Structure 1
Amino acid sequence: MALKILEGCINCDMCEPECPNTAISMGEKVYEINPDLCTECVGFYDNPTCISVCPIDVIITDPDRVEDKDTLYQKFQKLVHEDKI
């Protein structure tokens, strides 16, 4: 699954610099996660770093973007390959 930031986000700026895929950016009101770039840190870390640094626990798995670990790893490999081009 990709991750999602809920509207309760306080824009503390903790999550954005932690994302190895640069999937997090400022939206209209709160930070947002681009589901096409989010691998839940698969390929980089054991757990999503944005969730671990969020002080108010507003980052959840997105129920609309269900992806298993293999799919997330394939996305990671594609993103890493595109980065090298």
Structure 2
Amino acid sequence: MKIVVIIEAKNTIFSAYAPQTGCSEQTTDKYWNLLDEKTAEAPSQEDIVVAGDLNGHVGATKDGYSWHGGFGYGSRNTDGERIL
């Protein structure tokens, strides 16, 4: 689902539900490739928000990711790497 909200700036919001851990790599790759494709279609001047259940753990540490807020917990898993 895609929702476009116009306030003072144009924002594109994606509601996403990623395949669960344990799904085939082909299914997971197809999902992430489609999400990448759709977010890339949004004009560069728009803010993009991806929200939902991305089925990964980003962990507690930033480890070089400037967009990780540092509010996670536990350890990062493979699906968490894909989120970041």
TM-score for both structures, normalised by structure 1: 0.27
The structure with the greater share of residues assigned to strand is 2
TM-score with structure 2 length normalisation? 0.27
